[in-house]
Structure 1
């Protein structure tokens, strides 16, 4: 392409050199011919344009020097300056604006001054003014092309970056959703299967001697399995959901079902005491669900690991802007630490609490047993932002009222 442009420029320069702009009827052709020096300079300048993309400043220097020589020694009407204008355009299109300004001013000044001062024509001749105009046009057009390319490149980079961000956000949301569903499935399965296991063991133990108690245990098994299936159906239904993502489609048990949860463990033979000091507190749905799941998982661990004579104490207390959930047991079994089972119960608790920017403390108690203590915020970040907007609007209204008074 550069060779084609150079050849075209050479043809234009040679053809134009045969024209006389001051003929009797306007432009006259063939009444003059360029001298050999002009042909050599035009050929040299056109050959330099082949390398204009690889060394634009060098090509500008070569074509500018050829134009100066033509203005001083040859026929000033021979358009060698055309090659300098093309080279100046290339410099402006491939460099920055400061370089374009410097190169444009230098080229314009040198060529115009050489033509006006050392050329054979008067300083006010239109050929001299044409050199001034065309060098300015070349620099301006090149700078416009460079700016356009920069804008297109910035738009393309922004689009690519936005696409990468969307893909990363989609992957992150998918991972978070999978983790959340995994936590819910773990909580549901671990809790109900543990109860089914205990009740089935009781039924098998008393089947022969006390069939009535065995029937009662089997009834609890049926109830626990039904509850497990219902929660599993609700959780798995999220995977089939294709409607509004804001719709409350996930299972949402909360602290209002705490007594029912404790009764399920009491029916399985675990002594559970519940103490609440959070009356009047309505936590967000996420906090309510997290508190319920933490208590459920902690009691499940007590049932599985604390031994047959264990006793659990559950307390839910409102302390300032937080809700503190505590589950204690006095288990004396050998496997007192839930981590020994290799499950994901404590990990799921910690993930739930961390997602709400709360704190979780777990560990053995002095003298035996295990302690789970979670501190959850009463308000989430979304609630805080909504409250801030509400308070801001209230302040604005108060200020406006004061101004009017």
Structure 2
């Protein structure tokens, strides 16, 4: 707003200088037909620049004042030209600032005023009247075109800003989902291993030591993954999390469970599919560790032409689930949301004595 308000004094100075320069030239060029400039004429030429300074606050009054000063300048017999500049600028500004009714009304008053002056001094030919009407109309049409261009540019900028805000909101949602998955998996793993260590610390110290080592690894991993996810929010950082299917072996090793993995085919996948597939497998292992400790888990990835099929099965709990009543209950809905966001499907439910998760993620044509 400061820039817009501060522009008017500079514009007024430019217009004042232009009117004085044009006035000097016009006075010399019309020295035999029009009166020379005097202090009264210079005073009239200053009315327009002062009106430009006050125009934003008093649009109608300042335009009327500029038109009146222009008429008095012409009636005084002074040269044609310099007094038109301020009035043209004010009419242009009226349209640009959205005061189109006032602008066109004052343009009509200007046409009537100038034609009336011409008739008063004997210039009553049709060509003169048409020329005045055409000149003023052309000025207003150009102002309308400029206003339209500015409004369209502002609309494009507004749409771009809304799109940027939407993308930022989607990225924040993705970050929240990533943090949920990272924390849910690793904290559940830590909880399971801690419970195992406490249970075996007296009877089987070696196995308890193994569980504690897994806790150490998992806690380090959760800090690393959280740092990776949060780095996405930093300026200049990658705009997508780094989790992918190339880290499945590392994920399985950290889980401390008996997991077998089968891959049918192999092909490059879009980053969003890689990330969703990794998180689905991760959440499935988390659920198995929470609800079916001691079970055997199988992971199958089938790379098709049009979709990636994921299947995770566990054989059911071999020991009492230590976390069967724990958790937020968002695991399966979160996996389903990930699949749906890509246009895929996810089905999860009991399968024999265990549990099964099946997901199908479509692959876009450009990844084929």
2:185 pairs with 1:214: no
Question: Which of the pair has the greater relative contact order for Cα pairs under 8 Å at 6+ separation?
Answer: 2
2:262 pairs with 1:275: yes
Matched residue SS, 2:262: strand
Give the alignment partner of residue 189 of structure 1, picking from 173, 178, 183: 183
Contact 2:302 2:309 in 1 (8 A): yes
| Aligned-pair CA distance for 1:56 | 5.5
Query: 1:372 maps to which residue?
Result: 357
Change (3 A) 1:140 1:347: farther
Contact 2:185 2:282 in 1 (8 A): yes
Give the alignment partner of residue 342 of structure 1, picking from 328, 341, 346: 328
For the pair shown, the structure with the greater C-alpha radius of gyration is: 1
Structure 2 residue ranges without an equivalent (≥5): 1-60, 78-100
Change (3 A) 1:258 1:82: closer
Over residues 43-72 of structure 1, what are the superposed CA-to-partner deviations in whole Å (9 max), with x where a residue is unaligned? Answer: xxxxxxxxx959969x88xx9xxxxxxxxx
2:141 pairs with 1:139: no
Give the alignment partner of residue 299 of structure 2, picking from 304, 311, 314: 314
Contact 2:179 2:229 in 1 (8 A): yes
2:267 pairs with 1:237: no
Contact 2:283 2:331 in 1 (8 A): yes
Give the alignment partner of residue 161 of structure 2, picking from 145, 167, 179: 167
Matched residue SS, 1:365: strand
Query: 1:85 maps to which residue?
Result: 115
Query: 1:254 maps to which residue?
Result: 244
| Aligned-pair CA distance for 1:183 | 1.9
Matched residue SS, 2:163: helix
Contact 1:276 1:317 in 2 (8 A): yes
Give the aligned length. 278
CA RMSD of aligned residues (A): 3.9
Distance across 1 between alignment mates of 2:198 and 2:186: 18
| Aligned-pair CA distance for 1:318 | 1.8
1:4-403 matched pairs, under 5 angstroms: 4=65, 83=113, 85=115, 130-239=124-233, 241-243=234-236, 248=238, 251-265=241-255, 267=256, 270-279=257-266, 281-305=267-291, 307-308=292-293, 310-331=295-316, 341-355=327-341, 357-365=342-350, 367=352, 369-379=354-364, 383=366
Change (3 A) 1:8 1:229: closer
| Aligned-pair CA distance for 1:169 | 2.1
Change (3 A) 1:14 1:196: closer
Change (3 A) 1:4 1:190: closer
Contact 1:234 1:250 in 2 (8 A): no
| Aligned-pair CA distance for 1:324 | 0.7
Distance across 1 between alignment mates of 2:363 and 2:214: 35
Query: 1:114 maps to which residue?
Result: none
Change (3 A) 1:339 1:140: farther
Over residues 9-64 of structure 1, what are the superposed CA-to-partner deviations in whole Å (9 max), with x where a residue is unaligned? Answer: 88689878xxxxxxxxxxxxxxxxxxxxxxxxxxxxxxxxxxx959969x88xx9x
- TM-score norm. by structure 1 comes to 0.57
Structure 1 residue ranges without an equivalent (≥5): 17-51, 64-80, 88-110, 112-125, 388-405
Change (3 A) 1:82 1:183: closer
| Aligned-pair CA distance for 1:313 | 2.6
Contact 1:255 1:292 in 2 (8 A): yes
